[in-house]
Amino acid sequence: MALNHEEQDIIPEEEAEDGVTELKKLREKLKKCVAEKQDYLDGWQRSRADFANLKKEGEARASGLKDTVAGEFAEKLLPLIDSFEAALGDPKWKNTDPSWRKGMESIHKELFKVMQETGVEVFEPLGDLFNPALHIAIGRGDGEEGEHVVRVERKGYRLKDKVIRPAYVTLGSQK
């Protein structure tokens, strides 16, 4: 039997009470679901932030490790570079066989190229004010006073902001 429009709007009293109770139950369930959803969302967002932080930390560690390895590598090459520079600075060097001298100078340039590619910079502080973080003073010029670098005995090397080897310098007055 089909109900007409007016009859459909009328709900029996016992069903109406059950409907209100059911509606209350559904609202409570919805409230729980919304709270649970928010907990899941908060947890997901925290996990995402933790992962981003972990990724940044890993990248920083890798970069630091790369710099450490580059610095240690450069330290091992410094005595070799010093030897080349001592030979190149010797007055007898000009009298050496030109083809052999050219080959040795080429090797010296390649060593510097490798150092630059690893991020190592050379610094020669001639004329600079003495800085104990960058320089080791090994003496003073003849009878000179002053705190300026007047001669560089051995070049200094750094990797980014870390000094690999300070420059060995002689101090005196800036002229």
Residues 169/125, Cβ–Cβ less than 8 Å: yes
CATH number, domain 122-175: 2.30.22.10
pLDDT number for residue 129 = 93
pLDDT number for residue 122 = 92
Closest CA to 149 of 164, 163, 166: 166
pLDDT number for residue 1 = 47
- Give the CA angle between residues 36, 42, 47 to the nearest 5°: 125
Weakly modelled stretches of the chain, pLDDT under 70: 1-17, 175
Complete DSSP assignment for 50-95 = HHHHHHHHHHHHHHHHHHHHHHHHHHHHHHHHHHHHHHHHSGGGGG
- Contacts (Cβ under 8 Å, ≥6 apart) of 146: 171, 172, 173, 174
- Containing 153, the helix (H) or strand (E) segment is strand 148-154
Reading the block at residue 164, the tokens are 């690999």
Q: How many CA atoms lie within 13 A of 164 on its CB side?
A: 27
Could you tell me the residue ranges of all domains in the chain? 122-175
pLDDT tens-place string over residues 87-121:
888 899 888 899 998 999 999 999 989 999 989 99
pTM, two decimals, is 0.65
pLDDT number for residue 58 = 95
